[in-house]
Amino acid sequence: MLYIFALLLSLVFIVLGIVKWKIHPFFVLLIAAISYGFITGMEIPQILSAINDGFGGLMGKIGLIIFFGVVIGTVLEKSGGAMVIAVKMIKVIGEKSIHLAMLLTGYLVSIPVFADSAFIMLNSLNKALSDQAKTSYAGTSVALGLGLFATHVMVPPTPGPIAAAGILKADLGNVILWGIIVSSISLVPSYFFATKMASKTKIPIVLEAVKERDYRPKLWVSLLSILVPIVLIILKSVFEYPGTRLATNIFYTAISFLGTPVIALLIGVGLSLLLPKKLDEKVYAASGWFGDAVKSAAPILLITGAGGIFGNMLQSSGIAELITENFSDLSIGIFLPFLLAACLKTTQGSSTVALITTASIIAPIMPALGLESTMMTTMTVLAIGAGSLVVSHANDSFFWVFTQLTGMDVKEGNKTLTLGTLILGVSAICVIYCITLFVD
């Protein structure tokens, strides 16, 4: 039981380190991994190897993918492309269906743009439309927030799901495809929660002067950098799916190369450069938008790498064999990664940290849980994403962005956003479980 004790001790340290002592998650995960190695009696060369291989191996697989995804999101946000998509979505759906419009706008925009940034960017539009439509601002804000959350944790190229997929060696195309399906279905009860329950919360709307941009990119250009990489990655997965017999197709070589995630997202970066009015140092310089993307990506890359170290340390210690021998008869399956991610999300606040840490812990014990098949690996990534939704409250930065911008107090935030993320997360794991009953 020494291994289990060491793992539990590491998790307690991770939570306390991030929440109480305010230590950066990278150092918390790194110290937890090294401490776990010493407690379980691993030899020093083995510990050092786990550190180097865990960080370097994972960064070699997904480091550039995460960075390119952040670059695309940064350029979309700063060029006004994300706002163009939002405004068009409102026009298509109609201002009378403002809740649905904000839900779907958040859903699409949060694929490349961080949820916190996206809410800040879209809040003024949401506020103005809610006032114009004489609709509950609380309800539309919750719809926007839950739409943002759904893709933030379940649909790459958002960094969290990419990192989890990389750690679990899941096919990124499958994760994108099933992530879209699961998150879309899960949002149905969330929509009714926003319209029927959250809307009962009454908060005043204080309109601010909105500065109009002198230039906005075209809609089709704004969508290119999001849709082209996703389509290429999914196409590659379809071509390589067992039983499709597409490996002999004349387009296979091209699709196989272009659909490789790092190449697909690099193409997305190239397409995002069509968005600015003028391509100059403001965009590509170290002090420009690309420099901002580097600053945003650095913490995520470090946390992901530290998660890789933690996972490699667990694997090297032999905990997988122990759990296989002692817990293989437990029929908890897909619910373990969900519950673990939910515990980590609730206790320390960050969905990304919950995704990465849970994936690192689950990776070595996938066979013991019966989750080693291609389909179940994909579902595990999504189950971890669903868990990392439960719940957003006072230790989550998004909770404070949401409440401060909408003017809600903590109690109102808990009644709306916190309860909404619980409904969304539970809905998602129910959808995932139903899918696993029929597809494997």
Task: Quick: pLDDT tens for 69-120.
Answer: 999 999 999 998 988 988 888 888 876 788 999 999 999 999 988 899 899 8
Task: Quick: pLDDT tens for 126-167.
Answer: 888 888 888 899 999 999 999 999 999 999 988 899 999 999
Domain range for residue 167? Answer: 2-438
Widest pairwise Cα distance in the chain = 66
What is the sign of the dihedral through the CA atoms of 269, 275, 276 and 277? Answer: positive
Q: Is the pLDDT reported for residue 212 higher than 80? A: no
Residue 34 contacts residue 47 (beta carbons within 8 Å): yes
Task: Quick: pLDDT tens for 169-184.
Answer: 999 999 999 999 999 9
Residues 6+ apart with CB under 8 A from 354: 341, 342, 344, 345, 348, 384, 387, 388
| Residue 101: other Cβ atoms inside 10 A | 26
Burial class for 227, CB neighbours closer than 10 Å (0-12, 13-18, 19+): middle
pLDDT of residue 93: 84
- Smallest CA-to-CA distance from 307 within 55, 67, 62 is with 55
Q: Got the DSSP string for 316-385?
A: HHTHHHHHHHHHTT---TTHHHHHHHHHHHHHH--HHHHHHHHHHHHGGGHHHHT--SHHHHHHHHHHHH
> Under DSSP, is residue 183 helix (H, G, I), strand (E, B) or coil?
helix
Q: Report d(CA 129, CA 362) in Å as an integer.
A: 43
417: pLDDT confidence band, cut at 50, 70 and 90?
very high
Residue pointed to by tokens 């809740």: 99
Q: What total number of domains does the chain contain? A: 1
Q: Is the pLDDT reported for residue 317 higher than 60? A: yes
Task: Quick: pLDDT tens for 37-76.
Answer: 999 999 999 999 999 999 999 899 889 999 999 999 999 9
Task: Quick: pLDDT tens for 4-17.
Answer: 889 889 989 998 99
> Under DSSP, is residue 314 helix (H, G, I), strand (E, B) or coil?
helix
Burial class for 92, CB neighbours closer than 10 Å (0-12, 13-18, 19+): exposed
Residues 6+ apart with CB under 8 A from 254: none
Query: How big is the CA angle at 127 (ends 124 and 133), to the nearest 5 degrees?
Result: 140
Token code pair at residue 215: 């230039």
pLDDT of residue 329: 54
- Smallest CA-to-CA distance from 366 within 219, 215, 169, 231 is with 169
Amino acid at 377: T
Q: Report d(CA 235, CA 237) in Å as an integer.
A: 5
* 0.95 exceeded by pTM: no
pLDDT of residue 66: 92
Mean residue pLDDT of the chain comes to: 89
